[in-house]
Structure 1
Amino acid sequence: MLTKIEIRRHRHWLAGAILLISLGSLTGCDRDKPVAVTKAAPGPIPETPQRPGDPQAGYDVLVNRAVVTCGLPYDAYVAATEAETFDPASDYVLAGRRGRNAELPYALTAFTAESGVELVTSNCLGCHAAPLNGELVIGLGNEFLDFTADPVMAVEGAGAYVDTDAEAAEWQRWADRIGAIAPWSMTDTIGANPAQAITLALMAHRDPETLAWSDEPLLPPPSVEVLPASVPPWWNLGKKHAMFYNAEGRGDHVGYMMLASTTCTDSVAEAREIDAWFKDVRAYLATLEAPVYPYPVDAELAAEGERLFNRECSDCHGRYGERERYPNELVALDEVGTDPAMAEQAYRHTERFARWFNTSFYGRNAEAQPGLGYVAPPLDGVWATAPYLHNGAVPTLAALLDTRERPTYWRFESASPAYDQAALGWRHERLGQGREQFASLDEQKWVYDTSRRGYGNQGHDYGDLLDDQERRALLEYLKTL
């Protein structure tokens, strides 16, 4: 006998399949001809064995080696920070940082270029580590990052502190790369992450076979409409057969994980060197565990919620505990009903960017397969990963389970808001109108406006079929994952 959520799921399945077929022509290809790049259909995502690696070595290289091999000369970095031209503010210390890295904020890494110039460059933890209860948690997506400023301004300002010709050459190389991708690295809302757009912009400037950089794009760049993305937690990587929301990222995960190197990696030989140690990073990330909910839990209510979850939610999100399993299910857009812009945009770009990836060094053991849907994610540590949906449009789990509670306009209570133990998410303010109510850009950038394209908070309305007691029980159980 079908449950009430399953009845809705089956009703939408055929409509989702029709949508998938109708959008097959969006790439501009003749559908009667063979398609060079495979597109993902809704349903289970098959597993691909991953290369073995050394988790301990992976942690060491994650916090000490640079995957982005261009940056700001160290002496200029020191002068710029002292003059407050460049602000990498961080109060958190990572264990195991060595040498110069021990002196730098956790989101920056020291690197010595072939020229002998010591550089300071960004690393993965800028987006993939965040404070939680006063501690820095590796693998927690940082939902409070500010990408609203033009990065060229900061780069140019720091360049004023460069002294020698060798330093100037290294700075110029870095500045040129940042300048080329700047339009795709900016959002206008705090927390909206532009990583996907940045990656596609970098691909447009690189020859896929040689990885040589071209100052002029070799492919038409992506749209400068940068859609928002919420950074998923790393601790679920070991369960996922596809890394990304739209089912891309199949095959060897390492090729996707090191795509940030396309900022500065100008040859296959250099990419191969990074790949050799990045498999250890992937092995380390697969060992991460979700943080434990630090507040009281009503065990009796949570047990009620577990029974409800296993009956109503486990088909897509899996089971937890002794009988743990995760189905890796790509759910069609028309079924899940969430904002379609991200999935549709990736699907339209398939013939340019998925083809680039598949023919490049990064895709030699993998294949990009975008789908018209979103993967129902593992829910380990879900209580800590607000805001919710792929675009971060829903501020709490309570609102995710009740569409009536989702604000059209909202903003975080502060730059470091308190955790809401009742609603499970960060405390926020519901607003009566959008950005126009604020005069300054500094205030406007904190407003999340769900009426905008790509920012929608609709869909995943399965919780609307539950009563208030069922929702309370389900929330209590989600605290335990």
Structure 2
Amino acid sequence: MPNAKTSSVASIVFTAFLLAACESRERTNAVSYSPAGPVPAEQQRPGDPNKGYEALLNAPYITCGMPYSAYKQTASAPEPMTLILGRPGRNAELPYNLTAYTTPKGVELVVNNCLSCHAGFFAGKLVIGLGNENLDFTEDRTAAAEGVGAYVEDEAEAAEWRRWADRIRAIAPYMITDTMGANPAINMTFALIAHRNPETLAWSPEPLIEPPPKSVAPVSIPPWWRMAKKNALFYNAEGRGDLARAMMVGAIFCADDVDTVRNIDAYAPDILAYFASLKPPPWPFGLDGKLAEQGRAVFERTCSGCHGTYGEQPIYPNLVLGLDEIGTDPVLAQHAVGGASDRFIAWFNGSYYGETARAAPAPGYFAPPLDGIWITAPYLHNGSVPTIEALLDSSKRPKYWTRSYESSAADYDPVGLGWRYTALGQGKAGTDDLRERKKIYDTTLPGHSNAGHVFGDGLSPEERKAVLEYLKTL
């Protein structure tokens, strides 16, 4: 697995506000919500997936980071499996989640890119577009960023390091999670928004609006290949409008003016086209074709109304289920539509991003497409269920559980479809070892509930077994 030193907090910005779709409109700071139910399609700008791949790996859409000289002194040599062949220049020696960037003043930096959160490993192979469910955001990153200053070599580098470290200091208190694997991108993006002028995007050392609460609702990172089917993105369909524009909101970590993000926006449709071109990896183990076909019939009778059908002519309904219907942990959705996030919605809609995109969350959660579902554990929007077997039978869901946080084939459960886990008799409160406590998923914590989505409880054991076999084929 990649060395932890090669990651920084900038990496998770791109997880937040992966919004959606369409036409240019007059910018407004109005706060609006969307209803639960079907999400209509909206037109998107065309893009070139090949150019998008190159931009994703090599373009500096994050424009602040660690001086290269400091990186060389503090980072271990990257493991071979973390290198992507064909990257040009300095990027050839950097791991997949880092990009080289030379500032207008000639300072060489190493900056994070989207793959820090949106690429994961399975059996020693990098899978681009797979959410990284092994990241650790349980600690404050400020001290680590400040410590880099000891390795900075000259005044110009010091200025760039200080700019980067100050951003981390400002947002670090809002991105500390209770559990490894949980991603705080939403909260961190809200913290960045609090420091930005919506019209000029200028950075303010002091917040311009009230920052978000420091408690972080956990989020499991969805795979990029779902973007080809969904009409709005994010778990609560918050994003409507021009997805290519909206998804690059992560640039506000460093971009201090509209011209900078406008340059990024020029190639954003190419990156979006690349996301939509991705296909999930095929099931790597044995398959019972006859049982899978039986499972297809059960799935299409009981599951396809929300999750769609698959095959040569797939149908995906783009359906948001209301909280009363889905029954899963409501914290994330309620926070978005209950007024607590109105100031951030208004900022987005009144900013450069809001010229062609809009934030309009719904009071519920998307029923996602299930392409490659076998490799996307853990499940539900908060990652509270370790396997699909437990998702289809709520009686099997552990109240407290832990896992290895590795991604080897031996850590995968090909029967239950998910990561092997250990059920525990106590939660975080009963564990003194800090290293072990952060690895415990405690479903009694706010935002961490594993309740809801009990639709599989009505299936017989034989039907569940058949559905599990069918899901391997998607």
Q: Above 0.5 in TM-score? A: yes
Deviation at 1:350, TM superposition (A): 4.0
SS of match in other structure, 2:312: coil
3-state SS of 2:267 partner: helix
Kindly indicate whether residue 427 of structure 2 is the aligned counterpart of residue 434 of structure 1. yes
> Match of 1:324, as an amino acid?
P
Percentage of identical aligned residues: 55
The code of the aligned residue for 1:55 comes to: P
Residue correspondence of structure 1 range 317-328 to structure 2 within 5 A: 317-328=307-318
Task: Between 415-424 and 121-130, report the one with greater CA deviation.
Answer: 415-424
User: 2:13 is matched with which residue?
Assistant: none
Q: Are the counterparts in 2 of residues 37 and 350 from structure 1 also a CA contact under 8 Å?
A: no
Q: C-alpha deviations, 1:63-120, integer Å up to 9, x for none?
A: 11121100111001111226xxxx9877422133111111111111111112210101
User: For the structure 1 residues 210 and 58, does the alpha-carbon distance in structure 2 shift closer, same or farther, using more than 3 Å as the test?
Assistant: same
- Structure 1 residue corresponding to 2:343, chosen from 335, 352, 361: 352
Q: Which residue of 2 aligns with 1:291?
A: 281
Aligned-residue offset at 1:163: 1.4
State whether structure 2 residue 443 is matched by structure 1 residue 450.
Answer: yes
Q: Deviations over 1:356-401 (max 9, x none)?
A: 1111111211111111100000000001000000000000000000
Counterpart of 2:418 in structure 1 is 425
- 1:187–1:194: 8 Å Cα contact kept in structure 2? yes
Q: 1:349 to 1:159 in 2, by over 3 A?
A: same
RCO higher in structure (CA 8 A, sep ≥6): 2
- Partner Cα separation in structure 1 for residue 200 and residue 80 of structure 2: 37
Give the structure 1 partner of residue 152 of structure 2.
162
* 3-state SS in 1 of match to 2:75: helix
User: How far 1:259 moved relative to its partner?
Assistant: 1.4
Equivalence for 2:231 = 241
- The within-5 A match list for 1:295-310 is 295-310=285-300
- 1:400-452 deviation per Cα after TM superposition (whole angstroms, max 9, x unaligned): 00000000000113534511011000111111111233322111100000011
Question: Taking structure 1 as reference, are residues 90 and 232 closer, same or farther at Cα in structure 2, changes over 3 Å only?
Answer: farther
Residue 130 (structure 2) pairs with residue 140 (structure 1): yes
Residues 1:65 and 2:59 aligned together: yes
1:12 equivalent in structure 2: none
User: 2:198: which partner in 1?
Assistant: 208
Three-state SS of the structure 2 residue aligned to 1:473 is helix
Deviation, 1:475, is: 0.6
Superposed, 1:327-406 pairs within 5 Å as 327-347=317-337, 348-406=339-397
1:38 aligns with 2:28: no
Query: Pick from 444, 456, 464: which aligns with 2:457?
Result: 464
Q: Equivalences for 1:94-113 in 2 at 5 Å?
A: 94-113=84-103
- Are residues 35 and 184 of structure 1, via their aligned partners in 2, closer, same or farther at CA, if it must alter by over 3 Å? closer
Distance in 1, matches of 2:327 and 2:359, equals: 23
SS of the residue corresponding to residue 322 of structure 1 reads coil
Listed one character per residue, the Cα deviations across residues 310-355 of structure 1 (whole Å, up to 9, x for unaligned) are: 1111111011012311010010001000000001111233420111
**TM-score (norm: length of structure 1):** 0.90
SS at match of 2:342: helix
Alignment of 1:69-80 (within 5 A): 69-80=63-74
1:151 to 130, 141, 147: 141
AA aligned to 1:295 is F
Cα deviation for residue 265 of structure 1 reads 0.4
Q: 1:188, CA displacement in angstroms?
A: 2.4
**More deviation, 442-451/91-100:** 91-100
- Paired AA for residue 103 in structure 1: E
Give the aligned residue type for 2:340.
Answer: H
Match of 2:271 in 1: 281
| Partner amino acid, structure 2, of 1:456 | S
**Structure 1 CA distance, aligned partners of 2:80 and 2:185?**
21
- Could you say what secondary structure the match of 1:286 adopts? helix
Contact 1:63 1:96 in 2 (8 A): no
1:113-155 Cα deviation digits (max 9, x unpaired): 1221010111100000001122100000010111112111111
| Mapped partners of 2:73, 2:441: distance in 1 | 36
Counterparts of 1:191 and 1:217, CA distance in 2: 28
The CA distance in 2 between the partners of 1:133 and 1:456, in whole Å, is: 29
Structure 1 residues 177 and 413, CA, compared in 2 at 3 Å: closer, same or farther? Answer: closer
Q: Which residue of 2 aligns with 1:52?
A: 46
Output the TM-score relative to the length of structure 2: 0.91
Q: Is the 8 A contact 1:206 1:218 kept in 2?
A: yes
Match of 1:266 in 2: 256
Aligned residues: 444
Conserved 8 A contact 1:60-1:96: no
Letter in 2 for 1:373: G
Matched, 1:313 2:303: yes
Answer yes or no: is the 8 Å Cα contact 2:81–2:125 preserved in 1. no
Partner of 1:7: none
Segments of 5+ residues of structure 1 without an aligned counterpart are: 1-33
Q: Which moved more, 1:333-342 or 1:407-416?
A: 407-416
**Corresponding residue number in structure 1 for 2:467:** 474
Partner of 2:8: none
Question: Does structure 2 retain, via aligned residues, the 8 Å contact 1:130–1:137?
Answer: yes
What is the CA–CA distance in structure 2 between the aligned matches of 1:79 and 1:425, rounded to whole Å?
38
CA contact (8 A) 2:201 2:256 kept: yes
Equivalent residue number for residue 31 of structure 1? none
Q: Which residue of 1 aligns with 2:21?
A: none
Q: Which residue of 2 aligns with 1:24?
A: none
